[in-house]
Amino acid sequence: SPVLCWLRRDLRLSDHATLSRAQQCGPVLAVFVFDPALLTGLPANDKRVAFICAALDEIRTRLRALGSELVVSYGDPQQQLPCIAQDCGARQLFFARDYEPMALARDAAITQILETQGVTVEAVKDQVVFEQDELLSKAGQPYTVFTPYARAWRAQLTPASYAAWPVKLESRYFAARDSLPAQWRGDEKPIAVPGFANANLAALTIQTGERGARALLQDFATRIARYGELRDYPARKGVSYLSAHLRFGTVSIRELVRLALEDGSAGAMVWLNELIWREFYQQWLWHFPEAEQTSFKPAYRNLVWPGEDSHFDAWCAGQTGYPLVDAAMRQLKLSGYMHNRLRMVAASFLVKDLLIDWQRGERYFASQLLDYDMAANCGGWQWAASTGCDAQPWFRIFNPVTQSQKFDADGHFIRRYVPELAVLDNKAIHAPWLAKTLPETFLLGRDYPAPIVEHASQREKALALFGR
Ligand code: FAD
């Protein structure tokens, strides 16, 4: 009987812990379930749904070439998986552990249902190098400060931690498509979710699936040595752009660790540190699931945020009058991506210039980011808001103009996303309201908004709010 492999955040066919483990037990039948609970409320052209469909199409094509199938179903996994198991005669199911609070509850419920039905369930580690309690402080506590966590992470790392989980891409290791009941054999149409239109990722030059991840990785491998030097400049091609692929598992974290270690350059080590940040926040959320909904630092849980709704709307729309913030927010809306430096600037601006609750910003990012990941997003937001673990100190407040002068000095990035400012020179473009002269064709307040708040006075209000 086939061994079910329930794919979730591991949408690839190489270096795959779950598939590899499952193949040791029998011919594998890969399954993906579109859960309406996760789809409800998303816009019809949601980029993530399109990204998932593209990754699944690639997997299904490759499995069909091996005479097998990717079973794709729509519905509550608590009902779908027991049905699939029964119809296909499966006695075992494997999946990769997910550490988000809702996923943990769902997985526990499904495990119980399946085991009552006589199906053995095994959860496997795939998404991170170290999970849950594998890395604790000497006192046996979860880490809440990054530097000692990263030190312990590196100290505990052995070649076995990042060795590939091989997948045998041969027909005999997969369940035959012909052996499946007709209702679980998909048709020839591209995989799509009812009610969702195609977000046309190709037009946004978003590379999808394991193939897309591999292309990005090969490109980044040629640039990794310069990562440390270029990573902070949004107009430069300094970062890997792999975050959505890590989110959906179209690339294996172990492969990325191998790349960094094999390269060994100073840049690669800086990049490895970012991969460790990812795990730091994942273990943080697993240990402190409440961090999803509330400030990690109790002192900030009851702050009364005086910010205005109209300012929140202006921030979302990229119309605050602060060019770098607006360019960042427009990049997000258009592409589903925002450069890390800009995530920090935009988040800090919402919280400490507009004095709006970080959770509203976190929710907005969650709705827009192709790489949205609850742990990284809550971690990043709580860092910027000074409410999180190992966060930016509350009295440190980014100046959006100096950040712009420093990290987009020649205004390249701003011009790309805020074209109405393209006529301004390199000095005026960071703060048009301070310019002594502006081109005749450009009128502040007509062609581009005057700043909706004044940084200096908002900064004082933020200091008073946090320091009270
Ligand atoms: P690279 O610089 O090439 O880094 C490689 C990988 O390391 C990334 O793909 C990512 O998986 C991981 N990584 C890098 N920086 C961080 C970090 N600070 N925290 C956690 N992981 C990191 N990242 C997400 O993946 N999803 C999110 O929802 C998310 N929300 C964020 C919100 C805010 C307010 C902030 C400040 C940061 C957020 N980040 C998030 C972290 C970071 O901005 C992105 O991971 C990064 O910009 C993705 O681009 P990249 O793949 O080119 O990164």
Per-residue pLDDT in tens (0 to 9) along the chain, 468 residues:
999 999 999 999 999 999 999 999 999 999 999 999 999 999 999 999 999 999 999 999 999 999 999 999 999 999 999 999 999 999 999 999 999 999 999 999 999 999 999 999 999 999 999 999 999 999 999 999 999 999 999 999 999 999 999 999 999 999 999 999 999 999 999 999 999 987 889 889 999 999 999 999 999 999 999 999 999 999 999 999 999 999 999 999 999 999 999 999 999 999 999 999 999 999 999 999 999 999 999 999 999 999 999 999 999 999 999 999 999 999 999 999 999 999 999 999 999 999 999 999 999 999 999 999 999 999 999 999 999 998 889 999 999 999 999 999 999 999 999 999 999 999 999 999 999 999 999 999 999 999 999 999 999 999 999 987
pLDDT at 199: 83
- Which residues, including other chains, have CB under 8 Å from residue 151's CB and lie 6 or more apart? none
Q: Kindly list the domain boundaries of the chain, sorted by start residue.
A: 1-127, 128-163+209-287, 298-467
Pairwise CA distance, residues 3 & 173, whole Å:
10
- What is the C-alpha end-to-end distance of the chain, expressed in Å? 64
CA 39–ligand 1 middle distance (angstroms): 23
Q: Whose CA is nearest to atom 8 of ligand 1?
A: 243
Atom of ligand 1 nearest to the CA of 381: 34
Cα radius of gyration (the chain): 24
pLDDT at 136: 97
Pairwise CA distance, residues 167 & 157, whole Å:
23
Which residue out of 47, 274, 282, 351 has the highest number of ligand 1 atoms within 8 Å of its CB and is therefore the one to mutate?
Answer: 274
Look up 340 and say whether it is catalytic. Answer: yes
Catalytic residue among 6, 165, 284, 358: 358
With beta carbons less than 8 A apart as the criterion, state whether 272 and 243 touch. Answer: no
Q: Whose CA is nearest to atom 30 of ligand 1?
A: 377
Q: Whose CA is nearest to atom 14 of ligand 1?
A: 274
CA 54–ligand 1 middle distance (angstroms): 22
Q: Whose CA is nearest to atom 48 of ligand 1?
A: 243
Which residue out of 371, 389, 392 has the highest number of ligand 1 atoms within 8 Å of its CB and is therefore the one to mutate?
Answer: 371
Atom of ligand 1 nearest to the CA of 240: 3
Look up 184 and say whether it is catalytic. Answer: no
Q: Which two tokens stand for residue 178?
A: 């012909």
Q: Which of 162, 156, 102, 97 is nearest to 129 (CA)?
A: 162
Q: Which two tokens stand for residue 13?
A: 């066919």
pLDDT at 200: 83
What does 87-147 look like in DSSP terms, one character per residue?
HHT--EEEEE---SHHHHHHHHHHHHHHHHTT-EEEEE--S-SS-GGGS--TTS----SHH
With beta carbons less than 8 A apart as the criterion, state whether 386 and 300 touch. Answer: yes
What does 196-228 look like in DSSP terms, one character per residue?
-----GGGGT---HHHHHHHHHHHHHTTGGGHH
The CATH number of domain 298-467 is 1.20.140.10:
no
Look up 433 and say whether it is catalytic. Answer: no
Pairwise CA distance, residues 68 & 407, whole Å:
50
Pairwise CA distance, residues 387 & 298, whole Å:
8
Catalytic residue among 255, 274, 292, 420: 274
Q: Which of 371, 375, 359 is nearest to 286 (CA)?
A: 375
pLDDT at 197: 86
β-bridge partners, 244: none
What does 362-405 look like in DSSP terms, one character per residue?
HHHHHHH-TT--HHHHHHHHHHHTT-STTPPPTT----HHHHHH
Q: Whose CA is nearest to atom 11 of ligand 1?
A: 243
pTM of this prediction?
0.97
With beta carbons less than 8 A apart as the criterion, state whether 449 and 360 touch. Answer: no
Q: Whose CA is nearest to atom 33 of ligand 1?
A: 380
- Which residues, including other chains, have CB under 8 Å from residue 302's CB and lie 6 or more apart? none
Q: Which residues have CB under 6 Å of ligand 1? A: 231, 239-243, 246-247, 274-275, 277-278, 281, 339-340, 343-344, 347, 365, 369, 371-373, 376-377, 379-381, 384
pLDDT at 468: 74
CA 414–ligand 1 middle distance (angstroms): 21
CA 195–ligand 1 middle distance (angstroms): 30
Which residue out of 230, 278, 325, 369 has the highest number of ligand 1 atoms within 8 Å of its CB and is therefore the one to mutate?
Answer: 278
CA 273–ligand 1 middle distance (angstroms): 11
Q: Which two tokens stand for residue 168?
A: 């045998």
CA 107–ligand 1 middle distance (angstroms): 26
pLDDT at 148: 97
Could you give the 3-state DSSP secondary structure of residue 349?
helix
Q: Under CATH, which architecture does the 128-163+209-287 domain have?
A: Alpha Horseshoe (1.25)
Look up 277 and say whether it is catalytic. Answer: yes
Look up 274 and say whether it is catalytic. Answer: yes
With beta carbons less than 8 A apart as the criterion, state whether 371 and 274 touch. Answer: no
Catalytic residue among 131, 305, 399, 426: 305
Atom of ligand 1 nearest to the CA of 246: 11
Q: Which two tokens stand for residue 163?
A: 């060795």
Pairwise CA distance, residues 101 & 106, whole Å:
9
Express the helix, strand and coil content of the chain in percent, nearest 5 each.
Answer: 55, 5, 40
**What's 74's DSSP letter?**
E
CA 248–ligand 1 middle distance (angstroms): 14
Number of C-beta neighbours around residue 200 at 10 A = 11
With beta carbons less than 8 A apart as the criterion, state whether 46 and 196 touch. Answer: yes
Q: Under CATH, which architecture does the 1-127 domain have?
A: 3-Layer(aba) Sandwich (3.40)
Find the Cα–Cα–Cα–Cα dihedral 84, 194, 213, 147, rounded to 10°: -80
Atom of ligand 1 nearest to the CA of 243: 9
Q: Which two tokens stand for residue 185?
A: 């054999």
pLDDT at 253: 98
Could you give the 3-state DSSP secondary structure of residue 448?
strand
Q: Whose CA is nearest to atom 31 of ligand 1?
A: 377
β-bridge pairing 92-96 and 3-6: parallel
CA 372–ligand 1 middle distance (angstroms): 9
Atom of ligand 1 nearest to the CA of 241: 52
